[in-house]
């Protein structure tokens, strides 16, 4: 298929692009490189031994989108582009609404103008908000608790309305749980700017010696060992879910929201232990107060992904730690030259 990948140079986009190319799809990446490096695309090209097109542009720019759609004529869009930091979204909500919501509207307009009928959208488990019950299934009420989460919620609703208004359109809204890990080659991986907000990239930087110790945010939760429990999903499994989603034809409503997780949870301290084992390095930590806005547990119900996409996660926490360590130890400064 001809697949336009917005945000294809980013963490999840680059891993998905690699699988698309390996499966012989034609791809064009549309990215403004605001949170990524062209080096990631160079490496994907080498790993896949296949070429693809690159259009540097912002999804808020209708002219640039028109050029990309006109040149490439995609059959489907995988839409990763957007801003994703929860804390930053509280400080700059309008920037988040502009880039994520307005950008997605421009993208949908361009799709319709160019008769491109299927979209796979990167949503997040954050749309659920505080759990009324666990695991979260796709019918759980949606009550996001921060501007970033609300952009995902609004985009989901906008896509639903777009699909309902255009007989030919269809959409898959993938609600990711906690993506971690890297490609088995160790050549591409997550390369956060500055000090990482998320657990696994932070642990990796402690293990490689860039940071001194991990701050564990809360050890007094009602969980197995008092630290936060999350459903971590390997980025390679996540990428595979996108390949299933581009082929999927939602029949009833034309639009389906689908959780992408493993259905298993890991605490912060369990992750520390697994990472120490995978890396052979110590990960010193200190218990700190809870982080504002954090929940104790998050866990995906995964039955719908299995039923509709025929997809299920294959990789476990040890794979997540091993591949993260391979990437981090071989590229201690990420894509920047050391």
Whole-number Å distance between alpha carbons of 178 and 126: 10
Contacting residue, 177, 275, 325, 327, with ligand UFG by CB under 6 A: 177
β-strand partners of 53: 28
103-142: contacts with ligand UFG (CB under 6 A): 124-126
Q: Which is nearer to ligand NAD, 287 or 295 (CB)?
A: 295
Helices (H) and strands (E) in the chain, counts: 12, 13
Whole-number Å distance between alpha carbons of 75 and 89: 32
Whole-number Å distance between alpha carbons of 92 and 89: 5
Active-site residue (options: 128, 136, 148, 232) = 148
Applying CB under 6 A, the span of 9-17, 64-72, 109-117, 195-203 interacting with ligand UFG comes to: 195-203
Site size toward ligand UFG (CB under 6 A) is 21
Contacting residue, 199, 206, 257, 313, with ligand UFG by CB under 6 A: 199
- Closest distance between ligand UFG and the C-beta of residue 18, in Å? 22
Whole-number Å distance between alpha carbons of 128 and 319: 27
Residue nearest to ligand UFG (CB): 228
The residue written with tokens 């052979």 in the block is 280
Does residue 223 belong to the site contacting ligand UFG (CB under 6 A)? no
> E-assigned strands of the chain?
2-6, 26-31, 53-56, 76-79, 118-124, 170-176, 178-180, 214-217, 229-230, 232-234, 255-260, 266-267, 285-288
Residues that bind ligand NAD (CB under 6 A): 6-7, 9-13, 31-36, 58-60, 80-84, 99, 103, 122, 124, 176, 179
**Residue 148 catalytic?**
yes
Write out the catalytic residue numbers.
Answer: 148
Query: What is the binding site for ligand UFG (CB under 6 A)?
Result: 84, 86, 124-126, 177-178, 197-199, 202, 214-217, 228, 230, 268, 291, 294, 298
């Amino acid at each position: 298929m001809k697949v336009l990948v917005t945000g294809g140079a980013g963490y999840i986009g680059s891993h998905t692009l690699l699988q698309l190319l390996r499966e012989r799809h034609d791809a064009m990446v549309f990215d403004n490189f605001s949170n990524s490096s062209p080096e990631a695309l160079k490496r994907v090209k080498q790993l896949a031994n296949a070429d693809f097109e690159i259009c540097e542009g912002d999804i808020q720019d209708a002219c640039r989108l028109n050029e990309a759609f006109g040149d490439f004529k995609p059959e489907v869009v995988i839409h990763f582009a957007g801003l994703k930091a929860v804390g930053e979204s509280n400080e700059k909500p309008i920037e988040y609404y502009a880039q994520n919501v307005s950008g997605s509207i421009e993208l949908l307009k361009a799709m319709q103008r160019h008769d491109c009928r299927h979209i796979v959208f990167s949503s997040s488990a954050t749309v659920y908000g505080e759990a009324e019950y666990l695991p979260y299934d796709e019918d759980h009420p949606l009550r996001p608790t921060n501007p970033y989460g609300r952009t995902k919620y609004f985009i989901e609703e906008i896509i639903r309305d777009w699909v309902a208004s255009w007989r030919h359109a269809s959409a898959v809204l993938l609600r990711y749980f906690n993506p971690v890990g890297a490609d088995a080659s160790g050549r591409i991986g997550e390369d956060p700017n500055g000090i990482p907000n998320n657990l696994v990239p932070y642990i990796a930087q402690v293990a490689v010696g860039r940071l001194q110790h991990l701050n564990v945010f809360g050890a007094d939760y009602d969980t197995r060992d008092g630290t936060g429990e999350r459903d971590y999903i390997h980025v390679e499994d996540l990428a595979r879910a996108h390949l299933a989603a581009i082929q999927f034809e939602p029949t009833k409503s034309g639009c389906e929201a689908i959780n992408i997780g493993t259905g298993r949870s890991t605490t912060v301290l369990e992750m520390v232990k697994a990472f120490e084992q995978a890396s052979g390095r110590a990960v010193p930590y200190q218990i700190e107060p809870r982080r504002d806005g954090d929940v104790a547990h998050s866990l995906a119900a995964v039955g719908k992904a299995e039923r509709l996409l025929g997809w299920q996660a294959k990789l476990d926490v040890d794979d997540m730690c091993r591949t993260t360590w391979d990437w981090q130890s071989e590229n201690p400064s990420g894509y920047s030259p050391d």
